[in-house]
Structure 1
């Protein structure tokens, strides 16, 4: 059997992109704050007072991942958690002053990193690339594993 051309496999290419992004993030943005942590800070700077579930939805993180990210940001003193007065089971999240300073600093670094990451593409190609991967990512978030309890199987093409 002949080897498969992995350059035609989107999952393989997505993994390679993720590796490149991880390397650039750690060298150009931060070794302490991860990209998902930055995404959460960014969401809370835009909409302070969101609850954990809503922040997770905004940034595309599952329940267990968002819980860990919130915990790490809280331990670093980058966000405040206050009990929701209308629902004592929920916490409302806001960036601290240090969280806002960290967000501002990383926003500048992230912009530089994105220029390097997308540098091989023209401005028009960058816009098209971002549109295409956004569409694929949005569609992928709607997929569920067949047979999961309470989840429909993905529609067949």
Structure 2
């Protein structure tokens, strides 16, 4: 089963495609950042929508998305832009592909004894649980979604 995990920030969508193995590890197939085009955000969103729709139409069984989380601080423009881009991403998922939105704080409670950020810094943890193509450090959060969804 090929699964894509996505983390959306204000100017980029990070996609990590992986296969969930029977031994509870993940084989990384692709690690790809989709940068938002420069210029008019409305036009950039249209381009991103097409890129994501085309990419997710290539044999993907499920999508995992890091969900937005309400914070205690006022929303900054970066947070609002990320929310807009997350909406673009969700609208681009082809019909028939299930999407699970996972909140980071729930992953910390449900996965193990450490917080997600502690796992993300742990090179040995990633070496033990992931194989396949090289994973950029900036993509570890998306990869962790794959591991926690098994």
TM-score by length of 2: 0.25
Structure number with greater Rg is 1
Higher relative contact order (CA 8 A, sep 6+): 2
More strand by proportion, 1 or 2? Answer: 2
TM-score by length of 1: 0.25
